[in-house]
Homo-oligomer: A and B are copies of this chain.
Amino acid sequence: MPDTSSARLIATLTERLGARHVRADAEALAPHLVESRGLYRGHALALVEPGSTAEVAFTVAACAQARVPVTAQGGNTGLVGGGVPFGGIVLSLNRLNRLRAVDPLGASMTVEAGMILADVQAAAEEAGMLFPLSWAAEGTARIGGGIATNAGGLAVLAYGNARDLVLGLEVVLADGRVWNGLKALRKNNAGYDLKHAFIGSEGTLGIITAATLKLFPRVLSRSVGFVGLPSARAALALFERLRAGADRGLTAFEYIPRFGLEMVLRHGIDVRAPLEGQHAAYALVELSSPRPGADTRSELEALLAEAMEAGLVEDATIGGSAAQDAALWRLREMLPEVQKAEGGSIKHDVSLPLSRLADFLEEAEAACLAAMPGLRPCPFGHFGDGNIHFNLTQPIGMDKAAFLAEWARFNDIVHGIVERMDGSIAAEHGVGLIKRDELARTADPVGLDLMRRLKAALDPHDLLNPGKVVALSNDPPPALPV
């Protein structure tokens, strides 16, 4: 693209949006060019911050006309490089942050894409309802990004992924037209269900500007347990038992390996050991209920007592107050952070059929240890969803860079086992850049061709977040993890 044409585009956008909202200076651009963990660093012509759907549409239409790529960004908290621009403009949705409507009786709310997730949760609560989507970065992540990446998080077991919480969408298409699909309906078979094409497409098929979300009755009783277990296999048996006994009242089943809890207790601030002895594995379990008068604590006690009698559980504690529950949750939530204190970590975000979880953990740990004795596996996370963050902490004393240089080798080992067990190598964080080429290598070729056809049909000039998820051209990856 000749410079004059991009200069003309910037002038056009500046005229419509105002100079404050079209910034080409390095200071304004800097926070929008890097992946949140620093894995990628991109570049862009300008940061454009529209204040309305109409301004987003104007911006995208102008870019389409000039054939300039558009990378949409919310809170830029993604972990796969999906929001990093490599040329073109960064389109920030952050000024589109209004609550458009809330309907407690209809159990729905309509929000703009740039609303911070925690603000969405708070608005639901103010209306006497619950919006359950939740993850660590909820104080900075934006709802539009969460939907565009079909985010998972801490409440998937009972409420589903972001996709399951969306009733309708408003989307700006690659040519700048606006699709208004903001329906608040539980049933709608009026033609193809278009919203699903955009949810989880990571900004490559359209730009989500607003969403109508499902709300749920507020939780009135909650109880959290921390359980010591002899093995991952016992965790699976415990999960099966709690699922049968509590059904959708089981709102969390998180897995923590012994080494994970050790790291938390060693490096975490304001933490103490939840149980007296040590166990091979731990599970954080939560029961909750919106029913007035529900007594989830007694229920959880009874379920865990039965599991202990059955020999599945070695020890368990139940938080007796909201503060104690929060302290137990903190042991799980600190895990990503405390790993940094032990050196380099090679990460995998994988999912398995629930029935293969224990097989996977046993086999993948053994294979990784065989490949590098001294390695310290820390597989943790959303066990009840079949989703494990299979992280590998470097051997003590090894050079960090030398360890991280082995990333691809461990990818091959871990993802190979995942593939063989019919799992997914991209469970909740998405594909972005980091898994794009691996997806292309490992996906069903017919499925991959379908993805390319969808991309070509909805974004024929490859202008929306080009090079992410599925690459259309033969370009090499624009950057490698650093």
**B residues in contact with A356, CB < 8 Å:** 106
* Cα(A444)–Cα(B180), bound, Å: 7
Known: A187-B385, A424-B188. A290 touches B354 (CB 8 A): no
Q: Assess whether A5 is interfacial by the CB under 8 Å rule.
A: no
In the complex, are the beta carbons of B355 and A103 less than 8 A apart? yes
Q: Chain A, 275-312, contact with B by CB distance < 8 Å: what is the 0/1 string?
A: 00000000000000111100000000000000000000
* Chain B binder among A38-46, A194-202, A323-331, A363-371: A194-202
Q: Assess whether A399 is interfacial by the CB under 8 Å rule.
A: no
- Which residue of the partner chain, among B103, B194, B240, contacts A447 with CB atoms under 8 Å? B194
Q: Assess whether A21 is interfacial by the CB under 8 Å rule.
A: no
* Cα(A289)–Cα(B447), bound, Å: 38
In the complex, are the beta carbons of A454 and B192 less than 8 A apart? yes
Q: Assess whether A149 is interfacial by the CB under 8 Å rule.
A: yes
- List CB contacts (< 8 Å) of A150-200 with chain B: 150, 152, 156, 161, 163-164, 173, 177-181, 183-194, 196-197, 199-200
Q: What distance in Å separates the Cβ of A165 from its nearest Cβ neighbour in chain B?
A: 12
**B residues in contact with A385, CB < 8 Å:** 186-187
In the complex, are the beta carbons of A447 and B178 less than 8 A apart? no
Q: Assess whether A91 is interfacial by the CB under 8 Å rule.
A: no
Q: Assess whether A248 is interfacial by the CB under 8 Å rule.
A: yes
* Cα(A385)–Cα(B214), bound, Å: 13
Q: What distance in Å separates the Cβ of A442 from its nearest Cβ neighbour in chain B?
A: 8
Q: Chain A, 102-118, contact with B by CB distance < 8 Å: what is the 0/1 string?
A: 01011110000000000
Q: Assess whether A376 is interfacial by the CB under 8 Å rule.
A: no
* Cα(A458)–Cα(B192), bound, Å: 13
In the complex, are the beta carbons of A187 and B290 less than 8 A apart? no
**B residues in contact with A161, CB < 8 Å:** 187
In the complex, are the beta carbons of A197 and B196 less than 8 A apart? yes
**B residues in contact with A451, CB < 8 Å:** 191-192, 194
Q: Assess whether A422 is interfacial by the CB under 8 Å rule.
A: yes
Q: Assess whether A448 is interfacial by the CB under 8 Å rule.
A: yes
Q: Assess whether A247 is interfacial by the CB under 8 Å rule.
A: yes
* Cα(A386)–Cα(B450), bound, Å: 34
**B residues in contact with A446, CB < 8 Å:** 173, 177-180
**B residues in contact with A181, CB < 8 Å:** 444, 447
A: residues with CB less than 8 A from B are 103, 105-108, 149-150, 152, 156, 161, 163-164, 173, 177-181, 183-194, 196-197, 199-201, 205, 216-217, 236, 240, 243-249, 289-292, 351-356, 382, 385-387, 422-431, 435, 439, 443-444, 446-448, 450-451, 453-454, 456-458, 469-470
A-B contact pairs, 28 of them (CB 8 A): A103-B353, A105-B354, A106-B353, A106-B355, A150-B189, A152-B187, A161-B187, A173-B446, A179-B447, A183-B353, A185-B351, A185-B353, A186-B385, A187-B382, A187-B386, A188-B351, A188-B424, A191-B426, A191-B447, A191-B470, A192-B205, A192-B451, A194-B447, A194-B454, A197-B454, A244-B290, A247-B289, A247-B290
